[in-house]
A and B are shown apart, each in its own frame.
Chain A
């Protein structure tokens, strides 16, 4: 069911502010925070050079590894109004962090990433342009996996095709149109199985919304023991429920492939 007009007051507020909030979520990712923040700050500059105002919003989910101390230091050091940090005392989980982030975002478009991601700054404007051009609710690009400093693989590397197992590898690095907040809330309340990006794309596609894959390298994913992969992120009970492989989802359209300099490539 397509939402033609935003319903929540939050959506009304953000709908008018075209720009991007880079939302960084983390829990016990201290080792990766510097890279994530550096990438986010570079992305800020790249977006502003393209004429899009931007901010960084870091949400820490009650980390116990010194992440919060680092974030407070960074906030103090930068004294940067475009950098906001929120450190929670109790863990709420990735889905709730997403909800909080969208609510707190200044801008209409939110780039969601985790602290073990590093954006390719030059390409975030392309993702933003893709959602603006197409009216998509979600856009994502390739994520190159890095392990011990070496290229280890690639994720989020094709349009999501409901029911096609090989396309499930869509990680939690994507751009959302927060003016569609009710749609997103419905999506985040849905079945948590599978990688977050895949789950989000699937729920949006099931609701008739447009999701686009933008064939650029959107960022890097630092592989480590805490990487969610196919696991439920930040799960306190350790559950790792998994979506049924090969589950057929007939009648649900796939995501589209789009690049701002070419248009839709799958026509």
Chain B
């Protein structure tokens, strides 16, 4: 998107030959680093000069070193945590040629609002997901850009190669504890298969291997042995968790969201059900492989993340 400077001349924020620094929060979920790596890979596929850097590593950069760099910050509010020098971090980012915020979250949550309470001005927001959310943003001044969370080239190959056999776990639900999710587990147990996998630790418990918690590697290992990866949202807002869809397909499992309130059919996203009964009926009628094929077909039809990201960067 072009903006006018004080003299009325429009200019591009992200030029084709710009250096791009992608910053991720090193504290908290490994999801952010994974997202950062995917964005760097996608830039490289389009011959863009992109580098990945943790928020802590930004504090080690020299002042002025980002004068000719556009910085894409993933979840800036999370970047604040565990920093050796918070002021240095914000000062360094502020000195960049341009700043883009990257988020993968419902725009209606308090978590989303908090991202804009950091002492940084952003030139654009990139919303990574499956569903456009701009119409939900009222009085929002930062230019909004939707980036479909498409597969990278390597991810597409992984999904194509994933085996569908040897899956002894009928379903798995993983996430923080919430009454609706316990109900979901109960409904799946009684209405589909009793031997599903249930990991719903109390909210606020950090994901740490030393706590016996399941990290990204454990989740992937689980999903390679599972047919259906089933979840309900942690919050009340209409949002599709595209990262869960991706995690499932990469392991050869079928992503299934249960949403008892919203009708998602207009989005075309497969595997969303209004109830466990509807899920069970579909699974029993169509079978795992047929439903999984529909999810793969949908995902592959969205192209590659590199192409999608390039379109967005050209318009930022």
A residues with CB within 8 A of B: 120-123, 126, 142, 144, 151, 153-154, 157-161, 164, 166-167, 169, 213, 215-217, 253-257, 259, 261-267
Contact = CB atoms under 8 A, between A and B. Distances in A.
Interface in B181-208: 182-183, 185-186, 189, 194-202, 204-205
A32 B245 CA distance: 41
From B185, B199, B212, B219, name the one whose CB has the most chain A CB atoms within 10 angstroms: B212
A96 to B, nearest CB: 31
Given A158-B212, A166-B201, A261-B225, 10 more contacts: A120-B194, A144-B182, A157-B198, A164-B211, A216-B198, A254-B210, A255-B212, A256-B212, A257-B218, A261-B168
Contacts of A266: 209, 211-215, 218
A158 B201 contact: yes
B196 A216 contact: yes
Contacts of A160: 212
B199 A215 contact: yes
B178 to A, nearest CB: 10
A166 B211 contact: no
A217 B221 contact: no
Given A144-B186, A254-B211, A259-B222, A122 B197 contact: no
A253 B218 CA distance: 19
Interface of B: 168-169, 177, 179, 182-183, 185-186, 189, 194-202, 204-205, 209-215, 217-219, 221-222, 225
Nearest to B174: A215
A47 to B, nearest CB: 14
Given A255-B212, A266-B215, A157 B197 contact: no
A126 B196 CA distance: 11
A119 to B, nearest CB: 11
A50 B211 CA distance: 31
Nearest to B199: A215
A216 B197 contact: yes
A120 B186 CA distance: 11
B211 A259 contact: no
A217 B218 contact: no
B295 to A, nearest CB: 22
A36 to B, nearest CB: 17
A126 B195 contact: yes
Contacts of B183: 151
A153 B201 CA distance: 12
A154 B212 contact: no
B171 to A, nearest CB: 11
A195 to B, nearest CB: 14
Given A122-B194, A142-B200, A263 B221 contact: yes
Contacts of B219: 265
Nearest to B222: A262
A143 B182 CA distance: 10
Contacts of A158: 199, 201-202, 205, 212-213
A265 B222 contact: yes
Count chain B CB atoms within 10 A of each CB in A151, A164, A167 and give the residue with the most.
A151
Given A157-B202, A261-B225, A262-B221, A217 B213 contact: no
B212 A161 contact: yes
Contact of A267 (B196, B204, B217): B217
Contacts of A153: 179, 182
Contacts of A262: 169, 218, 221-222, 225
Contacts of B186: 144, 151, 217
7 contacts: A159-B211, A169-B202, A217-B194, A261-B168, A262-B221, A263-B221, A267-B218
B205 A144 contact: no
A78 B209 CA distance: 47
A151 B191 CA distance: 14
A265 B218 contact: yes
A122 to B, nearest CB: 4
A191 B126 CA distance: 54
Contacts of B215: 266
A257 B205 contact: no
Contacts of B211: 159, 161, 164, 254, 266
Contacts of B205: 158, 164, 166-167
B195 A122 contact: yes
Contact of B212 (A126, A159, A169, A217): A159
A120 B177 CA distance: 20
A253 B212 CA distance: 9
Contacts of B218: 257, 262, 264-267
B58 to A, nearest CB: 31
Contacts of A255: 212
Contacts of A151: 179, 182-183, 186
A257 B214 contact: yes
Ranked 7 nearest A-B pairs via Cβ: A159-B212, A265-B218, A158-B201, A166-B202, A122-B194, A215-B199, A261-B168
